């Protein structure tokens, strides 16, 4: 293996141990829920989910799960929700 590639692999390992280096600005994800699959997105500082509960309340278990999963990798406005603890 080339020494330059070995160095990049080691750097990638260090970066992976420091998730605070990453900030998601916009993304879309497929969420496989218990009852169905949903599209969850975070764009322009706002969450969206294709589940019926989100359309009624503006928050749902899918968006809250992603908040917990991604934690510090999300911008501050992505971490607030009316039901967060």
Q: Domain coordinates of the chain in residue numbers? A: 22-85
pLDDT of 13 reads 95
State pTM to two decimals. 0.78
What SS3 state is found at 28? Answer: strand
Q: Flag whether pLDDT at 61 surpasses 50.
A: yes
Q: 8-17, pLDDT tens digit by residue?
A: 999 999 999 9
Per residue in 3-52, pLDDT (tens digit) is 789 999 999 999 999 988 988 889 999 999 998 999 999 998 899 999 99
Judged by DSSP in three states, 47 sits in strand
In this structure, what token pair is assigned to residue 56? 């009624």
- 14 or 72, greater pLDDT: 14
């Amino acid at each position: 293996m080339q020494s330059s590639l070995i160095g990049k692999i080691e750097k990638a390992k260090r970066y992976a141990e420091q998730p605070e280096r990453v900030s998601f600005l916009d993304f879309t994800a497929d969420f496989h829920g218990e009852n169905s699959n949903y599209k969850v997105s975070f764009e322009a500082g706002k969450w969206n989910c294709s589940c019926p509960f989100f359309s009624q309340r503006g928050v749902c278990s899918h968006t809250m799960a992603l908040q917990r999963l991604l934690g510090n990798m999300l911008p501050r406005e992505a971490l607030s929700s009316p039901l967060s603890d």
